Amino acid sequence: MEKFSELKKIDLHMHSTVSDGTDTPEEILTKVRAAGIGLFSLTDHDAIAGAELLKEKRGPEDPLFIPGVEFSCRDVYGKYHILGYGYDSSAAAINALVDSGHSSRIIKLERRLEALRDQFGFRFSDEDVTRLFANKNPGKPHLANLMVKYGYAADKEQAFSAYLNRLKIKNIHFHPEEAISVILESGGIPVLAHPSYGSGDELILGDEMENRLKRLIAFGLQGVEGYYSTFTPQMQKEVLGLAEKFDLYVTAGSDYHGKNKMINLGDNNLADIHDAPAGLQRFIEDVLQR
C-alpha cells in the first residue's frame, strides 16, 4: 500500500455515466491518471456498477482506488447525501439498496416526463425516451440535456431553473438511517457529503449543522466531507472543527460530473494533503485496509 506521506493529490467524490456524469468510468480513469491524482473514488448516485468496473480496469501502476457510492436521502429534518466507501460489493444489503435506488430513479423519470408534458406541453420522440431510460441511472441532468436538444431550454441551467426544479412531483428518497446502516452492514464507511449544503440553495450552519451531525452519528455516521470544491473557507473551517470535536473521519472530494458541472477533477480545496487533519490520514489508512 502506498504510504500516506507519498500521496500528493486525492479526489474521493466523482460521478460517471453510470449516474449523472458525462464521462464513462474508463474515461475517468484516464483523466485521473493525467491529473496526477494518487487516490480516487467513484461515487455514483445509488449505483456501484461503475466502481466495480474500475476495480477491474485499474492496472497495478494506476492510482489507488476506493470503491464508493452516494445515496440520496431525506427525513423530516431535511436532505442528505450519504457517501459510502470501502464496502463489500458482494454484500446483499448494499446491492438491495442500489436496486431500490435504480427503481426509484426510473419512477421519478416517468413522473418528470409526465409533468413536463402536462404542465408545459413538452414531448419527446419514442426513440429519445427509450434512449433516456436506457441510461444506467437516469436523472435530471439527462432530461435537461434532452430539453436543450429539443429547444425547450436554451441550456441546462435554464432547463433546471425554469422547468425541472419547478415540477410538482413526489420524490422518493432513502432515510439517512437506512443508507448508513446498509453501508456499515456491507463493511463500508458512511460519510456525510458536503455537510454545509441542504436542499436547493439551503445552507446548514452553526447549531443546525451540529445537531444534524449528532443525529447522523447516532445512526452510525463515521465521517464528513471536510474538503469540497465549492466550500468557502468558513464552511470548511466549521466542518473540520466539528469533525475534530466528534472524532470523525475526514474526506476530500470535487463532486466532478464531467460536462454536467463546471468542476475539475481534484478541485476539492485541499491545498496540501499533508497539512490536512489526522481524520483524513486515518480515513485513508483505514479504508485502504478493507
Kindly report, residue by residue over 146-163, the tens digit of the pLDDT: 999 999 999 988 998 999
The larger pLDDT score, comparing residue 167 to residue 116, is at 116
Task: Name the fold adopted by 4-98+172-287.
Answer: TIM Barrel (3.20.20)
Quickly tell me which residue has 500528493 as its cell: 8
Instruction: Output the pLDDT for position 227.
Output: 98
3-state SS, one letter per residue, for 54-86: HHHHCCCCCCEEEEEEEEEEEECCEEEEEEEEC
> Over 80: is that where the pLDDT of 136 sits?
no
- b vs e for 141-164, b when ≥16 Cβ sit within 10 Å of the residue's Cβ? bbbbbbbbeeebbeebeebbeebb
Quickly tell me which residue has 425547450 as its cell: 152
Q: What is the pTM of this model?
A: 0.88
> Over 50: is that where the pLDDT of 13 sits?
yes
- Please answer whether residues 257 and 12 qualify as being in contact, where contact means their C-beta atoms are separated by less than 8 angstroms: no
Mean pLDDT value across residues 83-89: 98
> Over 50: is that where the pLDDT of 1 sits?
no
Instruction: Output the pLDDT for position 175.
Output: 95
> Over 80: is that where the pLDDT of 26 sits?
yes
Q: pLDDT tens digit string along 233-247?
A: 999 999 999 999 999
The domain ranges of the chain are 4-98+172-287, 107-166
> Over 80: is that where the pLDDT of 169 sits?
no
Identify which of 3-7, 10-14, 18-22, 116-120 has the greatest average pLDDT.
Answer: 10-14
